[in-house]
A = this chain, B = another copy of it.
Amino acid sequence: MIDRELMRGAGPVAVLKLLERRPMYGYELVETLERQTNGIFVMGESTLYPLLYNLEGKGLVASRWDEEGARPRKYYRLTPSGKRRLAEDARRWKSVTEAMGALGIVEEALAW
């Protein structure tokens, strides 16, 4: 499990990235995140749902209820605005990792 502060910047970007592939519902996002990152990003539901509402409020994702299956699911999809934001955030993320690399943080970690 990752430090809450480190999660802070990474969380929204990760969620947007998953939604880029295909629409997903909340519970699915939590599980996919954990699986795809080998258990590194363990985002509780009380973290994810507010995060989704926030993204929706900003127009970066949109939701739609699906009543078809066994139980109702709220699917979120990436909006065009969200797609742009994802590209932006990904660029920023790369900057941050470059900066950390320039400080020698990565090498420090590799020494372990």
Binding site for B on A (CB under 8 A): 2-3, 5-10, 12-14, 17-18, 36-38, 40-41, 86-87, 89-100, 102-106, 108-110, 112
Q: Which of B14, B99, B106 makes the CB contact (< 8 A) with A94? A: B106
> Told that A2-B99, A5-B9, A97-B106 touch, could you supply 5 new A-B pairs with CB distance under 8 A?
A5-B12, A10-B99, A13-B100, A90-B109, A93-B100
| Copies of this polypeptide in the complex | 2
Contacts of A112 in B (CB 8 A): 87, 90-91
CB distance from A79 to the nearest CB of B (A): 17
Asked if A37 contacts B7 (CB within 8 A), the reply is: no
Q: What would 16 A/B residue contacts be, using CB atoms closer than 8 Å?
A: A2-B96, A5-B12, A6-B9, A6-B93, A10-B99, A10-B100, A13-B100, A14-B103, A36-B103, A37-B98, A38-B99, A87-B112, A90-B105, A90-B112, A93-B100, A94-B110
